[in-house]
Each structure stands twice: as structure tokens, then as C-alpha cells.
Amino acid sequence: MRIGILTSGGDCSGLNAVIRAAGISLYNNLKGVQLVGIPEGYGGLIRGEGSILGRDDLAGILDKGGTILGTSRQPFKQMEVVGDDGESKLAKMVRNYRAMGLDCLICIGGAGTHKNAALLKREGCNVVGVPKTIDNDIYGTDVTFGFQSAVEVATESIDRIRTTAESHSRVMLVATMGNKAGWLALHSGIAAGANAILIPEMPLHEDRLCKFISERKALGARSVIIAVAEGAHLRSEAGLKKKQRSFVRTERGETTITNHLAEYIEEKTGYATRTSVLGYIQRGGAPCAYDRLLCTRLGEAAADFIAEGRFGVTVAVKGNRLVANELEDIAGKYKHVTRGDRMIKCAKELGIFLE
């Protein structure tokens, strides 16, 4: 059996741990297996590239950040667009899947990766997905790998930012990643004792936040720490698409929400306000122990599905069990933070500002 494996979309901690677990499990439990590593996500499949990943290649990578296969983003919208050569990217992938003699392809990635995997399934390829992303926003799974490692990094960073904020008696806006969903800002914000958390699911009214800051300062607090998800936005920006939102912000002479809020807060409250964008440090480096275990379980489960001939699914976590979700049932959907989420309730009861 020839099994392809690729990592696609934005990277995160734990990709190599999944490759390792899936590969070792396949080699140990299926006779005559060949694991073919496809470089740079669907990009490699489009170009028809791949090379054998032997047992030796899988050694020593459990705790290695990034991905030994490399990754790339392949926008879903362009998959079926026919190029100058008369063939779409999807058609090329299907042709190369067959030319490479693959019996199955393991697609490790986020929401976009799963949408593309569903297209491959539709075209008759055997695919098994594994849910990755620091955003934790893949529909149908309680958790994605990479998320907890990112929470650890963001939490430690906010802890550090608080000490300098306390020294200088400042308001600090800390931007985490999370474009569509606010899980990372919510979890790291609560874990680091942030005073306010701003997420895309709960559009913000700036004056309410300023009132909260002034009240907290009046009570004698030296610092106000605000965890801001990258995709958080104002009520006045709700309903705008990402591109329209950046257009509106550019018109105002601002780039990001933190940028806007820093100026607004300083002007309205008079308190010195600074921003800190955590950025890619949340995606890099070794996976935490929780993710190493999760990745190992997910990779092994993907290998089990292949052994059982269970294709066209992605591995998902439900409670403490690993289950299979049909790709077409989850593709194109997102798991958002809801107002009823128990973490939201917990944060509100602790007096954390949330819209």
C-alpha cells in the first residue's frame, strides 16, 4: 500500500509528531506499506512531487517544531479554476495522486486543508484528514493540535507583559492570532489573568471598554491587560469582510484593531497604552506535552482508519474519544466561540471584560 502524507496551511507545533505517529503506526501494523512524503502541502501534489519517508526519517522529530515536509497555502477558491495549460489545480492533484500510485493520502491541516481534501474525496481519491491549527476553529472536533502549545506561548507572553505594564502603570493590548475564532485569546487571556478579552465573535464598542479601563484604574489598578484576537473588530465593522475591514482601517490611517484601540484608549482615558503583537512565536517551536500526546493519538488513529479502509473522513476529538467525521459534513464550516461557552461564562463571572 502506498500512502501519501502532506502538511498544508499555516504551520503549528506538533505537525512532525503527527507525521511520526502515523508513519510508525503504519509501518508497524500494515504489511508492505510505503509512506510517501509530499512536500509543501497540496503544492507538492499539484507538481507531482513526493519521496519515500522511511522509518529513519521519522526518528527524532516528535518534539521538532515546524514540519519536515514543508507547507504552503493553496486557496480553495482557486482549486477548480482552469489554468493557461487547460488544467485546474484539482485535476493536477487527482492526476498526480494516480500517477504516484497512491492508495490513500493523509492531509494534515486546518479548515482550508479539509475543504481541499473534501474536493479530492469527491474526485474519488482516498483521503484521511488530521485537524491542525492554533486557532482551534475546525468544526466537529473539540480540539485541534497546536492550539494548546500556542496557548502556553501566549500565556507566558502575557504574564511577562503584565510585569512591565505594572512597572509603568500602563494599559497593554496583546494581540494573539485567531482570525475567525477567538479561542486562543480567550484561553490564554483567562490563563494569564487578563482583565479584558476581545474576540471576533463579540464585536466591541470602544467606549464600553474605555469605561471599564477607567473604572479599574479608579480602583487603584496599576495595569490593565487586554488580550485581543487578531480578528477582533468594532461593532461598526461587524458584517464587513476581512478585505473591506482592512480597507476601512487603512482609510482611518490604522492597520490593526490593536493599533486603533491603543490610540482611542489613550485619547479617551488619558492612560498610557501600548501594544504587543505576539505573531508567529505562537506557531513555532516544540509542542507542549499535551499536544505531543494528542498528536500521537491523532496520527495513530489516522493509521487505524487507513488499516480499516475508512476513507473520506477526518479524525476528530469528542470528549475523550477519537471519532471520524465525514469530510463533506465539516468542510467549509467553522467552530466559533459562542456566548454560551463555559469559558465565556467563567470569564464573565470573574469580572473579565467581554462584550
**Of the candidate residues 135, 152, 300, 304, the single one contacting ligand F6P (CB under 6 A):** 135
Q: Minimal distance in Å, beta carbon 136 to ligand F6P? A: 10
Q: Could you tell me which stretch among 51-59, 133-141, 202-210, 237-245 binds ligand F6P (CB under 6 A)?
A: 133-141
Rg of the chain in Å (alpha carbons): 22
Contact between 152 and ligand F6P per CB under 6 A? no
303: CB partners within 8 A, 6+ apart: 21, 22, 25, 26, 29, 30
Chain residues 173-202 in contact with ligand F6P, contact rule CB under 6 A: 177-179
**Of the candidate residues 7, 71, 116, 133, the single one contacting ligand F6P (CB under 6 A):** 133
Contact between 40 and ligand F6P per CB under 6 A? no
For residues 150 and 136, is the Cβ–Cβ distance under 8 A?
A: no
Contact between 134 and ligand F6P per CB under 6 A? yes
User: Quick one: DSSP state of residue 201?
Assistant: T
**Helix, coil or strand: residue 194:** coil
* Residue with the CB atom nearest ligand F6P in the bound state: 10
Q: Is 135 a catalytic residue?
A: yes
> Computed from CA positions of residues 85, 86, 89, 95, in that sequence, does the dihedral angle turn out positive or negative?
negative
Using alpha carbons, select from 119, 133, 99 the residue that is nearest to residue 15.
Answer: 133
Q: Minimal distance in Å, beta carbon 221 to ligand F6P? A: 30
* Distance, CA of 313 to CA of 325 (rounded, Å): 5
Contact between 137 and ligand F6P per CB under 6 A? no
CB closer to ligand F6P out of 71 and 223: 71
306: CB partners within 8 A, 6+ apart: 1, 3, 26, 30, 104, 106, 128
Q: Minimal distance in Å, beta carbon 10 to ligand F6P? A: 3
Q: Could you tell me which stretch among 132-140, 204-212, 285-293, 306-314 binds ligand F6P (CB under 6 A)?
A: 132-140
Contact between 258 and ligand F6P per CB under 6 A? no
| Catalytically annotated residue among 11, 63, 84, 135 | 135
**Opening angle at CA 289, ends 56 and 193, nearest 5:** 150
Q: How many residues bind ligand F6P (CB under 6 A)?
A: 8
Q: Draw the binding track, 203-242, toward ligand F6P (x: CB under 6 A; -: no contact).
A: ---------------------------x------------
* Distance, CA of 108 to CA of 106 (rounded, Å): 6
**Helix, coil or strand: residue 231:** coil
* Distance, CA of 315 to CA of 56 (rounded, Å): 26
**Of the candidate residues 5, 8, 10, 105, the single one contacting ligand F6P (CB under 6 A):** 10
Q: What is the set of active-site residues?
A: 135
Binding-site ranges for ligand F6P (CB under 6 A): 10, 133-135, 177-179, 230
